[in-house]
Structure 1
Amino acid sequence: MLLDRPVGAGTTRSTEAVVAARRSTRAFSDRAIDAAEVRALLRDAARAPSGGNMQPWQAYLLRRPAIERAADAIRATGVAPHRAVWDDYRYYPKRFFGSYDVRRKALGRALYGLLGIERRDTKRMRQQFERNFDFFGAPVGVLMTIDRRLERGSWIDLGMFVQTVVLLAEARGWGTCVQASFAPYHRALRPVLGMEEEEILVCGVAIGHPDHRDPVNALRTERDPTDMWLRQLD
């Protein structure tokens, strides 16, 4: 099983342990990761389920120089993240509601609380958010795209591919963060990546070794009890 490979001297982790350990890493150490190892991870992740074996994902692997060029292109737009226009697709609803909004706000309070950012300190909040565009200091970033002519089922397949990427990274002892924040800046990033017009920029994935000294990496989000979303029929 791919997830049961060694992750340290004399140790292995089960699939269940890898899934349970996965979390969003928002601070990375300066320890390098060989791009060839990431290419191998992406190759393994391509075994993810795919309806009709269409394999609708496209991936751009960025190392540090390319990450800096991408970040520069975003900054050059002069468009702050809270004013960015989601003109290719929307990740979030226009208006949050119900339990979805409750969980989102709880995450924000927990994240900014760890960083010592006060509720009304919008400047520091935006500075933290803008660290997305540097992949939080990770040595490697991957930007994921999909062909705009495909239907929603292919987006599900892309999601399963991304999930497989982050689980295989966790199995290797790496940290990851899946980032929708790049999507509104697709026009600025197209020439940097060489994207075709048919491609929609969906998300980024930061990959690297977590900086365990940074308090932001202590964040562990909660999940609702199973009975709140599972209905069993006998």
Structure 2
Amino acid sequence: MSTASQVSTRIEDPASVDAAIESRFSTRAFLPTPVPRATIEDILRVASRAPSGTNTQPWKVHVLTGASRDGLVAKVCAAHDAVRDNPALAAEYQEEYDYYPSQWVSPYIDRRRENGWGLYGLLGITKGDKEKMHAQHQRNFRFFDAPVGLMFTVDRVMGRGALLDCGAFMQNIMVAARARGLHTCPQAAWNNYWKLVMQHIGAGEGEMLVCGMALGFADESALVNRFHTPREPVANFTRFHD
């Protein structure tokens, strides 16, 4: 798209743009239906129009399908089971950067709890049911059965702003996926197992895992896909300065 067309383009159907954004949710059950490579490439092409500081475009994407996807699933699920059986092994699987705060405070801890117990409640997982919790958490490492797994990395030499840029790129992917009838689930759960992930995808030593993402066609009959998180009203997070 030329600069001229970018400036002059008019969005003829803004409702469809809004619908793509508002219908995005963390899908936790996918169909095995393959996603054509051409579709994945087209989504990534569109998403690459995301903004980045001084146009550095710091994101890198590793697309896993077929045997490569299945191989990573097997490795990380085995490690996840090993940590369950021997909690001391958790020290070997620490995330490379802090995604969450070291100490939770309100209102964030309240929203986190609402999210967790809302999901578990829907699935009939009660507090203290460690086996069911473990199995549900491990669904992350199976990409929730999605046929496509995406791993996002940035070079460690970059600053924290690269994470912001990568987030904008990922949002574009999720919205572009909706425009094509697909769903996604961004996943920070992979971060603890970054060493296994990076070795599997052959990432360079200078790369850092940002997070993963599942991509595919949603299983509309799955109970878990009825779970949708609330959003705060605009007035709660906005201040207008006139």
- TM-score (structure 2 length as normaliser): 0.88
Matches within 5 A, 1:24-63: 24-63=26-65
Match of 2:135 in 1: 127
The residue aligned with 1:23 is 25
Query: Alpha-carbon deviations, 1:82-126, whole Å to 9, x = none?
Result: 836434112111221110000000001111111111122121011
Partner of 2:67: 65
What are the ranges of 5 or more consecutive residues in structure 2 without an aligned counterpart? 1-5
- Write the letter of the residue equivalent to 1:38: I
Deviations 1:110-154, CA, capped at 9 Å, x for gaps: 111111111221210111011111100001110000111101111
Identity %: 38
In 1, the alpha carbon distance for the partners of 2:225 and 2:56 equals 36
Matching of residue 112 in structure 1 with residue 120 in structure 2: yes
Q: Distance in 1 between matches of 2:152 and 2:97?
A: 14
Deviation, structure 1 residue 13: 5.7
Contact 2:57–2:165 (CA under 8 A) maintained in structure 1: yes
Q: Name 2:148's counterpart in structure 1.
A: 140
More moved, 54-63 vs 113-122: 113-122
What's 1:186 paired with? 194
CA distance in 1, matches of 2:234, 2:84: 38
| Residue of structure 2 equivalent to 1:79 | 83
- Distance in 2 (CA, whole Å) between partners of 1:220 and 1:67 is 27
Runs of 4+ with >4 A deviation:
none
Gap runs ≥5 in structure 1: 6-10
**2:153–2:207 contact (8 Å) kept in structure 1:** yes
| Alpha-carbon offset, residue 80 of structure 1 | 4.3
Q: Provide the alpha-carbon RMSD of the alignment.
A: 2.2
Asked whether 1:231 is paired with 2:231, we answer no
Q: Is the 8 A contact 2:95 2:194 kept in 1?
A: no
1:197 aligns with 2:201: no
Partner of 2:3: none
Partner of 1:211: 219
Amino acid at match of 1:14: S
In 2, the alpha carbon distance for the partners of 1:61 and 1:170 equals 18
8 Å CA contact 1:13–1:171 kept in 2: the answer is no
Maintained 8 Å contact 1:61/1:142: yes
* Maintained 8 Å contact 1:41/1:165: yes
Say if 1:29 and 1:208, in contact at 8 Å, map to a contact too: yes
Number of the residue aligned with 1:8:
none
**Residue among 154, 175, 181 paired with 1:173:** 181
Amino acid paired to 1:27 = A
* CA distance, structure 1, for counterparts of residue 78 and residue 131 of structure 2: 19
Change (3 A) 1:229 1:113: same
Q: Which moved more, 1:126-135 or 1:79-88?
A: 79-88
Please tell me whether the aligned partners of residues 35 and 63 of structure 1 are also in contact (alpha carbons under 8 angstroms): no
Report the Cα distance in structure 2 between the residues aligned to 1:171 and 1:60, rounded to whole angstroms: 22
Matched-pair contact (CA < 8 Å) for 2:77–2:138: no
Q: Distance in 1 between matches of 2:77 and 2:24?
A: 30
